[in-house]
Structure 1
Amino acid sequence: MRGTDEASGSLFSYVDLDERVPGGHPLRKVRQIVNDALSSLDAEFAVLYTDFGRPSIAPERLIRASLLQILFSIRSERQLMAQMNYNLLFRWFVGLGIDDAVWVPTVFTKNRDRLLTTDMSRKVMAAILAHPEVKPLLSDEHFSVDGTLVKAWASMKSFQPKVSPPPDHDDDQGDPPPPSTQETPADTDQPPQQTETQPMPDTARQPRNAEVNFRGEKRSNTTHASVTDPDARLYKKASGAAATLCFMGHTLMENRNGLVVQADLTHADGRGERKAALEMINRHSPGSTRHLTLGADKGYDSADFVADLRRMVVTPHVAQKVRHSAIDGRTTQHSGYALSQRCRKKIEEPFGWAKIVGGMAQTVHRGLDRVRAQFTMTMAACNLARLPKLLAA
């Protein structure tokens, strides 16, 4: 018998969102780990909020929604709210009921920016890695480090010359004299001079984004700065590549399963990678007496960097330069050096995931602190995307 195609609204609806999600869905394991990690941060959340006033969006829901936006490559908060309005999977993951109203995109953005700072993003990543099911997957001795460029949300046309402050006048010299004016005496028969008024330029006829030719113009970070994002720097990693306004993201990866254990973002310069590597090692293993190894590419083959690692009781498994290498034979003769060189190449996978899926090829945020917090949260989401398969294996 053929069924009827008639739509009739129900007066009552009993929908259990948990029953609608398949038992083998990868987000089930991700949600379990995220909920346990956020439960361990309850005391941290309590410090950030007061006991009076209107209740804001729960911090746990803000973080779950932000992770969803990264995992599913949602470009804006407005699209995220539209998805949560009709997507039952998103409602279930965030913790909204079937009848709960979604948030206004601007309200969600303001609450998220107030919560997800660099410090909070690092605490979320650390809580996920400290989960009882995730911690056995990590290596506590062998690590790799690398950096990548994150394009800033600023165009090259915003890279303008820096405006120098006006010189200060001495107090004894007094104020500068006013401009001289020509007056016509009243007893003369000559009429006053007529001044020709220049017509105002027609701004409506000018193009909105005029073409600019930068050929032959010398620009550098010392003389120019972006008016859109002053924290962005003009930089290039390869000699034949074009310089762009960007930041430099850094990650510290453990070599057992390739999970990111530390993330940072700095100004783009030639020494940022080595400085960030030392800071991430200190944050991850403060005062550690265990002998660690650190794999890296040729960009880290510097005498100062190798000496700093040896003072920290860290063996520098750094790729050697062709000439004038700071890595000697006492390091390269061990089999662990060749193993670290093979494992360190896996650090490019989180970078590729963050740029293709996580939207970090070009950030949509401005300011060093906001971009750093977003980069750290993206690396935490990259770990979450790999955990269901790793835990199943």
Structure 2
Amino acid sequence: MFSKNRDRLIEFDAVTDLFNATVETAHKRGLLSGEHFSVDCTMIHAWASHKSIRRKDGGDADRPPGNWHGESRSNETHESMSDGEGRLYRKSHAAPALPSYLGHVLTDNRHGSVVNVQASEANGRAEREVAADMLRDVSGSGVRITVGADKAYDTRGFVKACREYNVTPHFARNTRRTGGSAIDGRTT
């Protein structure tokens, strides 16, 4: 059913309207506290494989697909032929770089309700930039809110954005990062 009507669903943004109506219904029924949130991000694999990644300048046209061992790849020099918007990205140093997108979620902790979801281009800043945008959207009530997150969010820019939006960051400190943790002794 959804695949037959995919173009109409996208054109009229029906999925977003359905999601927003669901969140509004949860709010009216008292299922959202509006005070304690968690934010997280996940890597979404693009509809592409390593074999589809080629040099942007066409320099590997004579090379057979998949013969890329020993070659350095980056988003500046390479792109996927089957999904050009997917970016090479890896979540950790131990993981391979794959053509990917990022999916972001903001949940209300009291009832575990998802209050915002977004997808973005995979890059090293998107995880925190999108999270800051989502927190700005929920922090407008004037009530101080808290946010929980993993240590990837412990950056000076994200902590500063949280404090600007009247959000208290409650997340793991990243003490191994150069310069130390951005979380100081304040409780606000």
Q: Tell me which interval the TM-score lies in, with the shorter structure as reference length.
A: 0.7 to 0.9
Judged with a 3 Å threshold, the aligned counterparts in structure 2 of structure 1 residues 296 and 269 are, in CA distance, closer, same or farther, namely same
CA distance in 1, matches of 2:155, 2:116: 22
Q: CA RMSD in A?
A: 2.2
Separation in structure 2 between the aligned mates of residue 120 and residue 292 of structure 1, nearest angstrom:
30
> Structure 1 residues 321 and 290 mapped into 2: Cα distance closer, same or farther (>3 Å)?
same
Deviations 1:278-328 (A, max 9, x none): 11123344x321111111110000011101110111111121012411112
Look up the SS of the partner of 1:121 in the other structure: helix
Letter in 2 for 1:159: I
Counterpart check, 1:146 vs 2:40: yes
Give the alignment of 1:98-117 within 5 angstroms. Answer: 108=4, 111-116=5-10
The answer to whether residue 128 in structure 2 is matched with residue 274 in structure 1 is yes
Q: Partner letter of residue 321 of structure 1? A: N
1:266 deviation in Å?
A: 0.6
Contact 1:262 1:284 (C-alpha < 8 Å) held by counterparts = no
After superposition, give the CA deviation of every residue in 1:228-283 in whole Å (9 maximum; x if it has no partner).
Answer: 11110111111111111111100000001211110001111111110110111233
Distance, in Å, in 2 between the alignment partners of 1:273 and 1:119 is: 24
CA distance in 2, matches of 1:269, 1:226: 16
Alignment of 1:1-393 (within 5 A): 65-66=1-2, 77=3, 108=4, 111-116=5-10, 119-131=13-25, 135-163=29-57, 212-285=66-139, 287-323=140-176, 324-331=180-187
**Deviation digits for residues 65-95 of structure 1 (CA, Å, limit 9, x no counterpart):** 54xxxxxxxxxx4xxxxxxxxxxxxxxxxxx
Which TM-score applies when normalising by structure 1? Answer: 0.43
Q: Secondary structure at the match of 1:145?
A: strand
- Moved >3 Å (runs of 4+): 116-120, 132-135
User: Is the alpha carbon distance of 1:160 and 1:113 closer, same or farther for their aligned partners in structure 2, counting shifts above 3 Å?
Assistant: same
Offset of residue 136 of structure 1:
1.3
Q: CA deviation at 1:330?
A: 2.3
Deviation at 1:122, TM superposition (A): 2.4
| Higher relative contact order structure (alpha carbons within 8 Å, sequence separation ≥ 6) | 1
How far the C-alpha of 1:133 sits from its partner, in A, is: 8.2
CA distance change for structure 1 residues 274 and 133 in 2, over 3 Å: closer, same or farther?
A: closer
The 1-side partners of 2:95 and 2:34 are apart by: 37
Q: Matched residue of 1:320: which SS?
A: coil
Q: Check 1:278–1:146 CA distance in 2 against 1; reply closer, same or farther (3 A cut).
A: same
Query: 1:124 deviation in Å?
Result: 1.2
SS for the counterpart of 2:25 is coil
Q: Which runs of 5+ in 1 are unaligned?
A: 1-64, 67-76, 78-107, 165-209, 333-393
Partners of 1:254 and 1:225 lie apart in 2 by: 37
Q: Distance in 1 between matches of 2:12 and 2:70?
A: 40
Instruction: Report the Cα distance in structure 2 between the residues aligned to 1:250 and 1:290, rounded to whole angstroms.
Output: 23
C-alpha distance in 2 between matches for 1:293 and 1:163? 47
Q: Contact 1:254–1:260 at 8 Å: present in 2 too?
A: yes
Identity %: 46
- Measured in 1, the distance between the counterparts of 2:25 and 2:17 equals 12
Q: Which has the higher helix share?
A: 1
Unaligned runs of 5+ in 2: 59-63
Equivalents in 1 of 2:12, 2:39: separation in Å?
A: 19
Of 145-154 and 132-141, the range deviating more from structure 2? 132-141
